[in-house]
Structure 1
């Protein structure tokens, strides 16, 4: 057994302390506080060698174990003194601890980022299901419906794997707290999905994630980000939301391969052979994810808002994302672009440079999202489709304006993508309000 696997096993054993909360939540708080306090005093010896990460050895402090225990103690405090469901706390900590162990084992036995990510997701999902159901048996003397537990555990495992991959597995507190707070929200939504929907969501998103990685349209982080977004779209919104989102991922991803060698020679191709990373995926789809969560929360009555507002924020942001992607990927192969702010000729690849061919391709992308939304959502109709096209073109234009004015050393491309999709989402809601397709509370 390697030192990394032994260390992961030791962390998993500490994480098991979370099950104390099923009987006495305050006991879990005390246990993790005690672990943090003890770890802060250990600088050498067998315990240090067991728990120490490379950075811990350099600093002669078990910072990793302290951070892990403090994050678990904070969540335990929310469960003890706040409204965080105990099952969410226990599931989060156990899921992360054992997912990490499974990921390390997979990395050791198979090797590679994909094996490690899959190991974390599978191990974390199984551990999360077991922890949540065990907690339910202790606290309520009954098992929870499979669909409810599966949504919580799958979401936690996928988000945990994504954050762990992005942060290189070195920031336990950020991952644990992020997963715990997200699952708190998911639990509050009381998602009414069925077991069939969950199983279909798992199968479809896993297959699409693997396909995107195999076709080299996404990196491991990009694959995980896309799977998270697609899974939540299905279980929180439904298949129409998933279909619109996957249209963006599929068409946008394939467009990066369009005349890729030519774009590479011109210096306008996506890095990593066109495989999009998590930053790119989230930069283009984070607004859509928030819109899905907002729609589910509004539909559940957690706050007073018209769910249709979030539908048009969702479609407007994705219309922007696809419009911007197609305008860049297709327009990039044409000569003589003009800077959008001055219309002067610029070199291909210049931030804020546009071509008429790219603008037409972008408008077609927005129209495609609008047409698909018109077919899938009864609330959209022809006026709604026009709203979505207008929102997409607006967001695409904002992207070009931001590229010409602020993009550079201080503001990166992914930040510009996020701001553009945010503007498209806002435009979609405002235009929907203006034509009476949605209302204010």
Structure 2
């Protein structure tokens, strides 16, 4: 499979129903052959080196067949699953639907559940096939845009909660608290147990909180800030985010679809672009201005958020870092955004070499707009900065800035590569070893 086989339609996408049927059966048969091989082996954690090589060869052959299938039939597959792009499906729902309609193309629920119960280092790695599939969809402009637009729809949980939240003006989502005050939605990340490190629970809570704030007609501006911690080193102090929860990654509960892809295509994209629904393209809202407030540190995913915020203020003792290369993974869309913001040299220093930036350094101004002393001075600045972001003209112009700096197709093309690369990364030996060492040292 090459990138070229998945870009554009061309003659390869003109295959008729008969050829699609034959190709569908070939994928199912290839998957069955691979499954029969790996099922005859011990579970992944107990395999010898030769047995691991046998399993790898079986997976590689099945993926070759899947890659060829997707190179010719991605458009037809997506059309069938979404009723000619009239049925919006989240990335998780799309993978689930594909597993039913096209057996062997992506892992079924039993395979996903079996891997889910294992530590990351002991998984079979079925998620890689989900990454291949999602990457193929995103490589096609119409299908990829439809998937991204589908991911911008409000979650069912947010829709269920909205009326209660609207009446009360607040909602406690567990790991995120939401409170509306004088037209400002305050989203407070409150994972005191792990320094606001992100896991699937927090991703879900954060997306619902963002949905509620964007749906609320009384909200003009969104403020995102970390709450006070109970960690012994930070008791009573606010921190913004310590990035991905490495303990959860080591335990195998950080999923490619439910965390790594959902995060980029879900709440982060919604903060950037706003929500989508059934309105026509000419009347779609473009989101709301939002302010990030950095106390303590913004590491990894927290630092990524600063690259899409409309305004960032920080305490003078805070620092920023993107240690994904040290962890072995790809830091979301930071490679796209930091290169655009700060240039390739700074992006390489921060992402590849792990450079840590104190917010008072000159280069940190590419992430942070204003710096204040921690405490009351920073607290007062939050209200003043939020007030400056109010106004219909501000909202309209931020939408046009987003369109200029990151067109949807540029984001789509980046995510097509990200889905595939990240799927490989989270199962690579260096990542598994690094994560285990990080957890042991914590």
Query: TM-score scaled to structure 2, two decimals?
Result: 0.25
TM-score normalized with structure 1 length: 0.25
Higher RCO, 1 or 2 (CA under 8 Å, sep at least 6)? Answer: 2
Answer with 1 or 2: which has the greater Rg: 1
**Bigger strand fraction:** 2
